[in-house]
Structure 1
Amino acid sequence: MEIREQIFKSLSAVKEKSPLIHHITNYVTVNDCANIVLAIGGSPVMADDKEEVAEMVGFASALVLNIGTLNARTIESMLSAGIRAKELGVPVILDPVGVGATQLRTNTAEKLIKELKPEVIRGNMSEIKVLAGLEVAIKGVDSLADEEDSSVVAQKLASELGSVIAITGKTDVVSDGTRVCLLDNGHRILADVTGTGCMTTSLIGTFCGADKDYFTGAVAGIISMGLAGEFAYASLRPGEGIGTFRARLMDGIYNLTPEILAKEGRIRYE
């Protein structure tokens, strides 16, 4: 089945099934992640206490782990939930926010990858290069890496880890180790709003929870955010800025249809 047909099928499945997406995520963007899942048609739960996460993931269709605001308690919860998810066949989607900025983040990301073998890992270029063992400059949780050779990096790391690797940036890249997709939707203003990367990971998790084609889920989640960003920016009037854009970004996700997603996605293969 051609990728556009798969994307159409994936969003149709989200709308039909409303998959429960369990998040253990960061407190900066937790509300945005919950709302973006609702907007696309899923159902979010944001439980992170170690006493309930293993039980909660038993009800979920996907588990999203985001290390943006790490602490010892949530690291333990992530591992507990992730181990249970793997036992149940629930896909794990990892967002290694700021990996490489501190030893705690790097060690935690490496441990989660080693023990949980996530189905999808989504990050910016700096984060993915760190996971690939490449030298890269870090500025907090923001990417300073150029996107040269991003396809090669994504494909090689996907092959090594057995995970779908998704790199978001000016041109987004998704690889499962064999296939490589380049995605050209979006607008640069997305980088001016906190949490668009985290929300993209939540969208990927929602698609992966509805349809077990994780490569297509990563492509569909990224294109959804890119298209919503384009629509939101195009709607701005003089005097409106990122506050209005942020609200309309959510509207853009809410109003996506399988037809729009499949037709308007700008997809290239390498």
Structure 2
Amino acid sequence: MLSQIKKAAPLVHCMTNYVVANFTANGLLAIGASPIMADEVNEVSEIVSIAQAVLINIGTVNDRTAKAMLLAGKKANELGIPIVLDPVGVGATNYRKQLVQHLLKEIQFDLIRCNAGELAAIAGEDWQSKGVDSGIGEIDIARVAKRVALQYKCLVVVTGESDFVTDGHKGLHIAGGREIATRITGTGCLLSAICAASLASSAKPLEGLVTTLKDYKQAAEQSTEEVGIFAVQMMNALQKLAEVKR
């Protein structure tokens, strides 16, 4: 799928958090996509109108960017542009919970990309959050993800030791990757951006996401176990996978 993204070269409007913006931009560039990261209320609708996909990531959201996200989502819906929600740390505070509930009510997302804790928060399941990390709890991920997908009429990807992707009816577990990826800031956020690029580059959204998740795990497996250089090697692996002729 990464090679397909490279061929399509979509412009992805990433309304993401400042912790991961550089890593996300470089990751998209590595696979041949083009990132733009505008969050000014007065221009966001115009930016969306030239993009092929939109990512809304609430990692460092505030009232100003929340307003811009809402405008971007509505414009994307108006133009039929695929839009991805990454509800970072949604279970951490009431502000985040209320914001995500509002975004899900006002915007028709194509995909929610989350971890197990974020899925639980969206679904109203019991879970002990730990900041923006997954936290601790026990839920039937497949069952809850399918319910959320049907409720919000979108695809759901839940990442973890084994990823799960569903359209509410069909579902698939995808194993692989490296645990070390959880110790690098931004690997999940970059995946959300790449999923947005995937939706913009494939006529079969579910199948495209499955392949994207497999490619991403493969890139992690081709990288080191050393935290200090994992991000660099991961970026190189993503580039090489995107350049494979298929």
TM-score greater than 0.5 by the shorter chain: yes
- Structure 2 distance, partners of 1:207, 1:114, is 24
Q: Does 1:246 align with 2:237?
A: no
Per-residue Cα deviation, 1:7-65 (whole angstroms, up to 9, x for no partner) = xxx44431222000001110000011111111112111011101111001111110000
Q: Conserved in 2, the CA contact under 8 Å of 1:117 and 1:161?
A: yes
Moved more, 217-226 or 157-166: 217-226
Q: 1:222: Cα distance to partner?
A: 2.2
SS in 2 for 1:134: coil
Moved more, 212-221 or 98-107: 212-221
Whichever residue aligns with residue 246 of structure 1, its letter is A
SS in 1 for 2:222: helix
SS in 1 for 2:75: helix
Any residues of structure 2 matched to 1:4-23 within 5 Å, and which? 10-23=1-14
2:80 aligned residue = 89
Q: 1:96 to 1:135 in 2, by over 3 A?
A: same
Any residues of structure 2 matched to 1:1-270 within 5 Å, and which? 10-146=1-137, 148-233=139-224, 241-257=226-242
Whichever residue aligns with residue 111 of structure 2, its letter is V
Q: 1:100 to 1:148 in 2, by over 3 A?
A: closer
Whichever residue aligns with residue 209 of structure 1, its letter is A
**Cα RMSD, aligned residues only:** 1.7
Q: 1:218: Cα distance to partner?
A: 2.7
- Structure 2 distance, partners of 1:145, 1:63, is 30
SS in 2 for 1:209: helix
Q: Conserved in 1, the CA contact under 8 Å of 2:89 and 2:96?
A: yes
Q: Which runs of 5+ in 1 are unaligned?
A: 1-9, 263-270
- Structure 1 distance, partners of 2:151, 2:179, is 31
Q: Conserved in 2, the CA contact under 8 Å of 1:64 and 1:94?
A: yes
SS in 1 for 2:223: helix
Per-residue Cα deviation, 1:97-117 (whole angstroms, up to 9, x for no partner) = 000111111111111111112
Q: 1:161 to 1:191 in 2, by over 3 A?
A: same
Moved more, 161-170 or 206-215: 206-215
Whichever residue aligns with residue 55 of structure 1, its letter is E
- Structure 1 distance, partners of 2:243, 2:4, is 10
Q: Conserved in 2, the CA contact under 8 Å of 1:204 and 1:220?
A: no
Q: TM (normalized to structure 2)?
A: 0.95
SS in 2 for 1:183: strand
Q: Which runs of 5+ in 2 are unaligned?
A: none
